Amino acid sequence: MEYLHGHYNYWIVILLMMVGFYTVISRGNLIKKIAGLNIFQTSVFFLYISIGNVTGGTTPIVADGFEQYSNPLPHVLILTAIVVGVATTALGLALVVRIKEAYGTIEEEEIHNQDESL
Amino acid sequence: MIDDFIDITLLAFLAITAIAIIRMRNLFAVIMMFGIFSLVSAGLFVVLDAADVAFTEAAVGAGISTVLMLATLALTRGHVEKQPAHKPWLPLGVVIVTGIALVYGTVDIPAFSDPQAPAHQHVAPRYIEQGQRETGVPNLVTAVLASYRGFDTLGEVTVILTAGFGVLLLLGRRRLRKTEEEDEQ
Amino acid sequence: MTDNLILRVIAKLLIPIIVLFALYVQFHGDFGPGGGFQAGVIFSVAFILYAMVYGLETAQRVIPESVLRLLASLGVLIYAGTGVATLALGGNFLDYNFLAANPIAGQHVGIIVIELGVGITVSAVMLLIFFTFAGRGQS
């Protein structure tokens, strides 16, 4: 029971990661792939923030009356990762718009067929 | 006790939203569910004591990412995803194998929120105890981001600038109709 | 006009509050949650709301794209320029202790200046990306 209580967070995060992963590799629509990629990224952020959490600790802002603080280092890493993630998403969506203009569709199979018939 | 209850409820909401994103075929609804996913995950970050991260995730995920996806949907004009042609047994198999491997990797991980975990031992106590004294800033996340690890933040800002350049290069000045007229000539 | 009336009135009320909140988050990032990234995104959201309610051309007259490109590069220049300034004053790259007489004051100055650079770049780039996406499909 103690073991379950200490680990269920990680298992649900892994479930979310796998849902995002499945969306990326099994669906053909490009916008859905990008949404699945973002789900994957967000669940990886959960993993890191869960590692940085401390029982009885509080947000890492120094204030009177608090002794235990959560680890600020994962927060910094994930802050950077979130912003880089939105930069990648913006570029990916710009590519989707160009693909639509070039091929006329954003379904992966139709794009593949058009490429193979050349 | 109530903390754990909120934690489990929010995680359950997240799982339901993620599964709904896979199953739905109307793309507009998928993007809205994605915005809900970002907002609920921002709430979960607050429960996990990460205030700055929650702030950024709410602003960036539920704000900018959703708006950009809606703009892309308006530009690509395809509102319903096509039914996938083959049965998804291979992707399901790959995903299950990867999931089992990852769960096997978390068997030895230190328990959730254990203060004696190795993640809290090496550099973090120095940042927590001397951060305010050395930088004069109470917010330890800002102190680490801007002062102790300022070089990484410089790289991050450059990445944002490069993404802006990339989008400008891809979708820059030339309009859609003008390109078609040039092709016809 | 009447079918957008509620949107226009509410936007006019909300946009100054959003800009004020963005400035608060930027300069209070030292004492509470916040900092350059969050403030930059919130600031750009104010202008995105304006562009959505009043039209893209009106928003591009308020902030032309050339100004946005200038601002985006200016933020990174401020950030890296602080590093070069600390080099010139005798320390390592981005060693804020040399920016003022007192090391703690130097750290304060350094952190505020680079967060300003980050905020300027993030807001300009988010606005640029939105304007580019929104202006694409029109002839």
Q: What are the distances in angstroms from CA B143 to CA A49, A72, A111, B59, C110?
A: 18, 10, 48, 21, 11
Q: Using CB atoms, pick whichever of C31, C72, C136 lies closest to residue B176.
A: C136
Report residue B100 as tokens: 């089992």
Q: What is residue C102's predicted lDDT score, i.e. its pLDDT?
A: 87
Mutate to test the interface with B, among C67, C114, C123 (most CBs of B within 10 A): C114
Q: Using CB atoms, pick whichever of B51, B96, B141 lies closest to residue A76.
A: B141
pLDDT confidence tier of residue B177, bands split at 50, 70 and 90: low
Cα–Cα dist B71/A82, whole Å: 20
Q: What is residue B178's predicted lDDT score, i.e. its pLDDT?
A: 47
- Which residue in the block uniquely carries the two structure tokens 């106590």? B125
Decide if A43 contacts B11 (C-beta within 8 A). no
Decide if A29 contacts A107 (C-beta within 8 A). yes
Average pLDDT over residues B34-55: 92
Decide if C79 contacts B154 (C-beta within 8 A). yes
Mutate to test the interface with C, among B52, B55, B170 (most CBs of C within 10 A): B55
A97–C32 C-beta distance less than 8 A: no
- B72 within some domain: yes
Q: What CATH number did the domain enclosing B10 receive?
A: 1.20.120.1200
Q: What is residue C131's predicted lDDT score, i.e. its pLDDT?
A: 93
Choose among A76, A47, A61: nearest CA to B112. Answer: A47
Q: What is residue A63's predicted lDDT score, i.e. its pLDDT?
A: 84
Residue B32 belongs to domain spanning = 1-82
Q: Using CB atoms, pick whichever of C30, C72, C134 lies closest to residue B137.
A: C30
A94–C33 C-beta distance less than 8 A: no
The domain A2-116 having CATH identifier 1.10.287.3510: the answer here is yes
- B53 within some domain: yes
Give per-residue pLDDT as tens, C69-100: 999 999 999 999 999 999 998 888 888 888 88
Report residue B166 as tokens: 């990339």
Give per-residue pLDDT as tens, A19-62: 999 999 988 889 999 999 999 999 999 999 988 888 888 888 88
pLDDT confidence tier of residue C139, bands split at 50, 70 and 90: very low
Q: What is the DSSP letter of B110?
A: P
Subunits in contact with chain C (3 or more CB pairs closer than 8 Å): A, B
Q: What is residue C138's predicted lDDT score, i.e. its pLDDT?
A: 64
- B119 within some domain: no
Average pLDDT over residues C36-50: 94
Average pLDDT over residues C25-35: 90
Residues of chain A found within 8 Å of residue C32, distances taken between Cβ atoms: 61
The separation between CA B109 and the C-alpha centre of its own chain, rounded to angstroms, equals: 23
Can you give the residue ranges of every domain in chain A?
Answer: 2-116
pLDDT confidence tier of residue C1, bands split at 50, 70 and 90: low
- B89 within some domain: no
| Ramachandran category for residue C95: left, alpha or beta (phi over 0 → left; psi -120 to 50 → alpha) | beta
Mutate to test the interface with B, among A11, A55, A62 (most CBs of B within 10 A): A62
End-to-end, the C-alpha distance of chain B in Å comes to 71
End-to-end, the C-alpha distance of chain A in Å comes to 60
CA distance, residue A14 to nearest chain B CA (Å): 7
Q: What is residue A117's predicted lDDT score, i.e. its pLDDT?
A: 83
Burial B30-42 (b: 16+ CB within 10 A, else e): bbbbbbbbbbbbb
Angle between helices A2-26 and B89-105 (to 10 degrees): 150
Cα–Cα dist C94/C87, whole Å: 7
Chain B (66-85) residues lying within 8 Å, Cβ to Cβ, of chain C: 67-68, 71-72, 74-75
- Whether B183 has a pLDDT exceeding 80, the answer reads no
B139–C42 C-beta distance less than 8 A: no
- B167 within some domain: no
ipTM: 0.91
pLDDT above 70 coverage of chain A, percent? 100
Average pLDDT over residues B22-47: 92
pLDDT confidence tier of residue B124, bands split at 50, 70 and 90: confident
Decide if C40 contacts C119 (C-beta within 8 A). yes
Helix (H, G, I), strand (E, B) or coil at B92: helix
pTM of the model: 0.90
pLDDT confidence tier of residue B176, bands split at 50, 70 and 90: low
Q: What is residue C2's predicted lDDT score, i.e. its pLDDT?
A: 62
Report residue C115 as tokens: 């967060």
Average pLDDT over residues C46-55: 92
Q: What is residue B46's predicted lDDT score, i.e. its pLDDT?
A: 92
A98: nearest CA partner in chain C: C136
Cα–Cα dist C118/B150, whole Å: 11
A15: nearest CA partner in chain B: B99
Total domains in chain B come to 1
Backbone phi and psi for residue A107, each to the nearest 5 degrees, phi listed first: -90, 135
Comparing A15-19, A104-108, B121-125, C2-6, the range with the smallest average pLDDT is C2-6
Cα-Cα-Cα-Cα dihedral of A41, A43, A49, A53, to 10°?
Answer: 180
Cα–Cα dist C45/B86, whole Å: 41
Choose among C46, C37, C45: nearest CA to C115. Answer: C37
Average pLDDT over residues B151-175: 89
CA distance, residue C66 to nearest chain A CA (Å): 20
